[in-house]
Structure 1
Amino acid sequence: MDYQAFRDRQKTIDLDGIIDVPLNVAYTDIGKGEPLLLLHGIPTWSYLFHEVIAPLAENYRVIAPDMIGYGYSDRRDRFDRSIEVQADVIERLLAELDIKSSHFIAHDIGGGVAMILADRTPKLVRSMVLSNSVAYDSWPVDEMLALGHPRNARMEPEQMKQLLEKAFEFGLSRPERLTDEFRDGIMAPYLEPEGIVSLVRNAASLNTNHTTPLTGRLSRMSQPTLMLWGVDDRWQPYSTAEQLVRDMPNASLHAIENCSHWVPQDAPDEFANTTLEFLIGLE
């Protein structure tokens, strides 16, 4: 799906109770059935899932929000963008949508958000598919640490474009998957002045202290969990997935060969099909 069609389909909702004013969240909500919540990472937005939403929505209600500070959700300089607060927002969003339990499909820092909620509110998280997720002290990566310096809030759009193009090229094993459609769509929110500032703030919020406390509690996360991992990833290595499977009581691992970090774009068919097989196996 092209960028403009994806944007036109997004809905918006105002969520109060997080900070002193309502926060606006942009999200996709299509399909019927059990809810699936898709959580992106940094420096992406829900458009990362643009090729997998439709096949998933054939059997499930798919909800794909832009986390606050990302994409076209609230980007003001008025809130903490840490994964702890992102978890608060997701919990509040699901409550507003009257969803008491959901499957979580999460990538990168979205996986950290999912694990926080699996630990904090176990009944909310029916199962998890964690794709090249942050965990332990595996993050933030050097590129995001550098991006988070406050001076980068003054970066020109062309500078940000060059930085992001390198990141998306580096994180794909299949060069043909770096299409013009994907590149233009995934970067679009961050080539605007407000988006540049917001992405820098997002990078500055990354803190390994928000996942290391979960390490000793992974053995209590009993939700069925699939590690869906691109094996070529040099940011969140395959060894992280192997360690998570050892530490979590109900976890399994599916390796995707010739695939790096941006798994939903690098291998969309295998991502969607393997996710569906996993979910159908839970029925």
Structure 2
Amino acid sequence: MQSTFSVMNSTFPRVVRRAIAWGAHSIVDQAFKKSSVPFTEHPMNIQDFRSRQQTLSLDGVIDEPLKIAYTDVGEGEPLLLLHGIPTWSFLFHDVIDTLAKHYRVIAPDMIGYGYSDRRDHFDRSIEMQADVVERFLEELDVDSAHFIAHDIGGGVALILADRNPELVRSMVLSNSVAYDSWPVDEMLALGHPRNAKLSSQEMTDKLVESFEYGLSRPERLTDEFKEGIVTPYQDREGIVSLVRNAASLNTNHTTPLTSRLGQLQQPTLLLWGVDDRWQPYSTAENLAKDMPHAKLHPMENCSHWVPQDNPEEFANATLQFLASTAALV
């Protein structure tokens, strides 16, 4: 007689098998009780981070190639890390190496951000970002990945989970945009065209103010973090690009997903800073109710920038979640 899991493996597509397995709560709870992964990484500065970024020329999205800057380290199942606004992939600088001990970690700068293409040649909406991510993974021969996504990166992950469910094996959504919870007032203001004329110091002041507001732990507002996030947005092209990014934010790209959240089959961890005043904890609670295979992990004494506020808890919770999903199928 075939076991339940062998029948399931032969009958259902992978993403449905994972969702069915996710319902085995006792096994999941055991996996989450595993001892935490030691966190011994030293903060990485922007120079070290940039030294291992790669670039590729991505065609097939618009009528000319797009430059994508990205980190690709480690081996094993691929994890795709997607940042939000106004950051870039450096947001994950304190967790990448810990995750890469167990997985292949791919962390691109989305177009318009960081050191990816910043020209005025393309749409920067999260729908367009989803198109680029889909094509980017195709270029890397990655047909399925775990998505670790923050802020608008979470909106991109949700779009792709709905559009191309086989591409998205599971999701860790941290303080993600959803429903009509965004764009926040600060980003609406930043998107005004007049801000394209800001000086580098004025842009730096705006960004540092947002870091102070979006971190619960003052000691985590490190010089490495401030310098790392701010540097791509110091020259004229970077300043203009960040303003364009803010102007592109459109709640109409997440509200159509609201009625379909209940159809998403991916195991999902909602890794949420409870102090966030931009993407509040109530958004996570609503997602946990609306998504059938979502679990909520509140991060106490953390605000919006959770990978920076508490990188140890962020990395450990992510690894334990991924281990629990792998153990079930």
Structure 2 residue matching 1:136: 3-state secondary structure: coil
Pairwise CA distance, 1:17? 1.1
2:61 aligned residue? 18
- The residue aligned with 1:187 is 230
Residue 176 (1) aligns with residue 219 (2): yes
Q: Which runs of 5+ in 1 are unaligned?
A: none
Q: 1:129 aligns with which of 168, 172, 181?
A: 172
Amino acid of the structure 1 residue aligned with 2:236: P
- Which residue number corresponds to residue 276 of structure 1? 319
Amino acid aligned to 2:152: I
Instruction: Give the RMSD, CA atoms, in angstroms.
Output: 0.4
1:191, distance to aligned residue in structure 2 (A): 1.1
Q: Which stretches in structure 2 are left out of the alignment for 5+ residues?
A: 1-43
List 4+ stretches of structure 1 deviating above 3 A: none
Letter in 1 for 2:235: E
1:48 partner amino acid: L
Question: Residue 70 of structure 2 aligns to a residue in which SS?
Answer: strand
Aligned to 1:229: 272
Where does 1:66-145 land on structure 2 (aligned, <5 Å)? 66-145=109-188
- Percentage of identical aligned residues: 75
| TM superposition score normalised by structure 1 | 1.00
The amino acid that maps onto 2:203 is: M
1:150 is matched with: 193
Match of 1:63 among 95, 101, 106: 106
Displacement, 1:192?
1.1
User: Which range moved further: 150-159 or 59-68?
Assistant: 150-159
Alpha-carbon distance in structure 1 between the residues aligned to 2:263 and 2:55: 35
- Equivalent position to 1:35, from 71, 78, 83: 78
TM-score, length basis structure 2:
0.86
Structure 1 partner of 2:285? 242
Residue 222 of structure 1, CA deviation: 0.7
CA distance in 2, matches of 1:175, 1:99: 38
- Partners of 1:55 and 1:178 in 2: how far apart? 20
Partner SS for 1:277: helix
Amino acid at match of 1:152: N
How far apart, CA to CA, are the structure 2 residues paired with 1:44 and 1:216?
29
**Residue 265 of structure 2 aligns to a residue in which SS?**
coil
Provide the residue aligned with 2:34 in structure 1. none
Letter in 2 for 1:276: L
Mean CA deviation greater in 39-48 or 9-18? 9-18
Secondary structure of 1:43's partner? coil
Amino acid in structure 2 at the alignment position of 1:72: Y
Larger radius of gyration: 2
Letter matched to residue 54 of structure 1: D
